[in-house]
Chains A and B, each alone.
Chain A
């Protein structure tokens, strides 16, 4: 395998890992493992949540450096799991460039769960958490509707590449407006429970987990970045919920 092909394969795998929600240290470790397994003498990899830099040296050749900027991130842990598995497999049985690239393509195009299931999952999360925090059956049905609304709103704003904080502020707005309206119409008596249950759909669970795990691994830069992201999303949700609560309450009396 030439130095060009080697760094290409490692970079492709790194990009799939990072853009689908792997921790920073996992991306660095996997890429390093692949490079060494495929015959590199040295491999230096630097990863932050938005960029991958890799520098590979082969015996008797000049070093090669590649950089890739990651623009969009989503969460698909199936791909992370598969690439992680592949990177370990390469260590035991080295494959050629073509097969490896085909395998990476296959993993990259694994379909995620169908869209309607994602919408239902959002609705279900919000319903379950409303019950979890002590809501009645009626409250949970309002939560179910809010979950569907939030999913659709997030996807529409995601399509226009709106920024994450704005998306979460609008999410919070929808949650508390619908909950207030339900309380105002007399459909529900505990508006608080519906709001708390529904904002759980917006909680950045993976960002929290990954930031803690990155800090343990010594990647303070990525860990702190993700930790701050999680904190700001929390603040954005609270701000979004607060606006209708303070503006509409006098009129609805909820």
Chain B
């Protein structure tokens, strides 16, 4: 039960964000499912891994893969799915507590929380970069491969 409810809340929030971003009507649910997926991966891996920066990285990799695959399937831009799914992973709490420690004069705690928040943001960026770059590379290799095969086939026909 404790694992399911955060995912449902993430789904609801992502759905609302999809409306704010004016995502096409028939893709609203798919986009919101991405937000839920990120949370699901986070919660499931929490049982095995205790380092939360790593957890954020894994969750981002999952939603990026989801977004890239869906973008190809539905022939629409990747951003539609990625931007919505990423929002539940944004460290809003980290930003708030960093600020709170600073105004309370607890500079040490503020700095360590701030750096932790920055690390999480870094994990989000690295996760997206890893998946996007790999997908691009694979697509280019496949395009080159298929054109080579095509040339060979044409060549074979001619001779």
Judge whether A113 and B19 touch: CB under 8 Å.
Answer: yes
B22 and A242: CB pair below 8 A? no
On chain B, which size bracket covers the interface? 35 or more
- Whole-angstrom distance between the Cβ of A22 and the nearest chain B Cβ: 7
Is A148 interfacial (CB 8 A cutoff)? Answer: no
Q: Does B83 contact A (CB under 8 A)?
A: yes
- 1/0 per residue, CB under 8 A from B, across A228-242: the answer is 000000100111011
Q: Which of A8-16, A163-171, A180-188, A199-207 contacts B (4 or more CB under 8 A)?
A: A199-207
Residue of B nearest to A206 (CB): B83
Q: Say whether A109 faces chain B, with CB atoms less than 8 Å apart.
A: no
Whether B79 and A132, one on each chain, are in contact in the complex, defined by CB atoms closer than 8 angstroms, is: no
Given A78-B23, A132-B6, check contact A216 B133 (CB 8 Å): yes
Q: A132-B13, A205-B84 in contact; A77/B21 too (CB < 8 A)?
A: yes
The distance in angstroms between the C-alpha atoms of A216 and B96, with both chains bound, is: 29
Q: Which 9 A-B pairs have the closest CB atoms?
A: A128-B13, A132-B9, A238-B99, A124-B16, A121-B16, A121-B19, A128-B12, A76-B22, A209-B83
Q: 11 A-B residue contacts at CB 8 Å?
A: A21-B21, A22-B79, A77-B24, A77-B80, A112-B22, A128-B13, A132-B88, A200-B13, A200-B92, A208-B83, A216-B132
Interface residues of B (CB under 8 A from A): 5-6, 9-10, 12-13, 15-17, 19-24, 75-80, 82-84, 86-88, 90, 92-93, 95-100, 102-103, 124-125, 128-129, 132-133, 136
